[in-house]
Amino acid sequence: MKFNITANDSKSNARAGIIQTDHGTIETPIFMPVGTVGSVKGIHAQDLTDHIKAEIILGNTYHLYLRPGIDIIEQAGGIQKFNAWNKPTLTDSGGFQVFSLAHRRKITPDGVLFYSHIDGSKHLFTPERVMDIQRFIGADIMMAFDECTPYPCEHDYAEKSMELTHKWLDRCCTHFDNTEPKYGYNQTLFPIVQGSVYKDLRIKSAEKIASMNREGNAIGGVSVGEPIDLMYEMTEIVCGILPKDKPRYLMGVGTPANILDCIEMGVDMFDCVMPTRNGRNGTIFTRNGIMNMKNEKWKNDFSLIDKESDLFADQQYTKAYLRHLFTAHEQLGGMIGSIHNLHFYLWLVKEARKQIMNGTFTSWKSVILPKISQRI
RNA sequence: GGGGAGAUUCCAGAGUGGCUAAAUGGGGCAGACUGUAAAUCUGUUGGUAACACCUUCGGAGGUUCGAAUCCUCCUCUCCCCA
């Protein structure tokens, strides 16, 4: 993997860059649609490339390991062959499931014992095992195995957890460096900064992660329910420590406004379930604001879903029709909501990139931020 | 023609003397969703000058301190047998 910075914003820490992988290039800042079980819910691979213009998507180690299982993915020839997405992929390590499935796991110094949410079976995830699984899945970017701490979280616990994550990181790196990719293309490993909402821990963790000298770095343990101001404060501190010449990935963030704010702090990569989950549930993000398509007010609004968008769905369907689909619980409603939101998210980061390269990012942001944040 | 069952708030459907403006679903309305156990979850859903009052359980009367619940008549619906 290679990363080159194309442009630095003169008025902020925002930057535009290019990541090169064996599955193609990624222009940053970028938003990565989440495809947990090998599928961006409700979206064809072809729509991801042709309409949404996604450049990289996520998969999840824990979920893919449980189903279909790494043997099936290996037989398929890796995740990109299996799900027909032959562009870059990033797999999360299962660290988020340590948080989200906290009631179904036990943390030990060696790793995490998971009780499958599907059939209750026991599975031990050690840093080494997680590296092996991600080798089998075959994503271009693999994530270190970490503990994503909850919010709120006591300083004492956050510190111990961070130290455990750091120990696991050393093991991840060692094992990663001692193993080979399985499918003939390169994989890289991103370590993850933890430290909850504590400045001292975040600084310590960011220094540790920077010292590992990997090809890219991630900021985790955010967007778990903490106030947005705290998330921003932590992100800003960490971005100041992580090396400038490597991509910074802010995990699980966020709203369109969060993404612009964090691009300004120097974040290059984002992922979030929000565009797909909210889209599936009736919330639509547009450059003029956020709409709840289930609301009665759209009942007889026969204007296009988004007249400023060039997405086919936004130009084909009306708000009244989309509301009808949601109220009738038609699958097409969730599909249109998802494709629309992903298209918007990708438009947003690509536009941000243009503005950075044009030297107009901050002024553009100050105009668009209030518009995209309002509810209409 | 004979026999039987039933009519409850937008719908379906509980309730069979006071704890009932009335369970539970659905529908309606609104909200939530941030490295996806989520095409999910939550709230709300008679009216009003609203911690109270008014109207409501097919219609009209009646019994009772008190009725959706008991009695009488009426109207309508459904099922079975001829």
User: Which positions of A are annotated as active-site residues?
Assistant: 92, 271
| Cα angle: A61, vertex A46, A26; to 5 degrees | 65
For chain A, list the strands marked E by DSSP. 2-8, 15-21, 24-28, 30-33, 57-60, 89-92, 105-107, 112-115, 122-125, 141-143, 188-190, 192-193, 217-219, 248-250, 269-272, 283-286, 289-292
Residue A88 has what pLDDT?
98
Residue A41 has what pLDDT?
98
Instruction: Tell the residue number behind the tokens 């984002």, with chain if given.
Output: A270
Exposure of A269 in the CB half-sphere (CA atoms within 13 A): 27
- CA gap A87, A73 in Å, rounded: 16
Q: Please tell me whether any atom of strand B lies within 7 Å of the Cβ of A271.
A: yes
- CA gap A271, A58 in Å, rounded: 8
Residue A241 has what pLDDT?
98
Per-residue pLDDT of chain A (376 residues; tens, 9 = 90+): 999 999 999 999 999 999 999 999 999 999 999 999 999 999 999 999 999 999 999 999 999 999 999 999 999 999 999 999 999 999 999 999 999 999 999 999 999 999 999 999 999 999 999 999 999 999 999 999 999 999 999 999 999 999 999 999 999 999 999 999 999 999 999 999 999 999 999 999 999 999 999 999 999 999 999 999 999 999 999 999 999 999 999 999 999 999 999 999 999 999 999 999 999 999 999 999 999 999 999 999 999 999 999 999 999 999 999 999 999 999 999 999 999 999 999 999 999 999 999 999 999 999 999 999 999 9
Q: Please tell me whether any atom of strand B lies within 7 Å of the Cβ of A266.
A: no
Residue A236 has what pLDDT?
98
- CA gap A340, A298 in Å, rounded: 17
Residue A132 has what pLDDT?
98
- CA gap A268, A249 in Å, rounded: 6
Q: What is the DSSP letter of A185?
A: S
**A50: CB partners within 8 A, 6+ apart:** none
Is A176:A169 a contact under the CB 8 Å cutoff? no
**A348: CB partners within 8 A, 6+ apart:** A31, A256, A259, A260, A287, A372
Residue A53 has what pLDDT?
98
Residue A376 has what pLDDT?
94
Cis peptide before A68 (omega within 30 of 0): yes
At what angle are helices A256-264 and A228-241 packed, to 10 degrees?
Answer: 30
Positions on chain B within 7 A of a protein C-beta: 27-41
Is A100:A74 a contact under the CB 8 Å cutoff? no
Output the distance from A360 CA to B41 C1' rounded to whole Å. Answer: 41
What pTM value is reported for the model?
Answer: 0.95
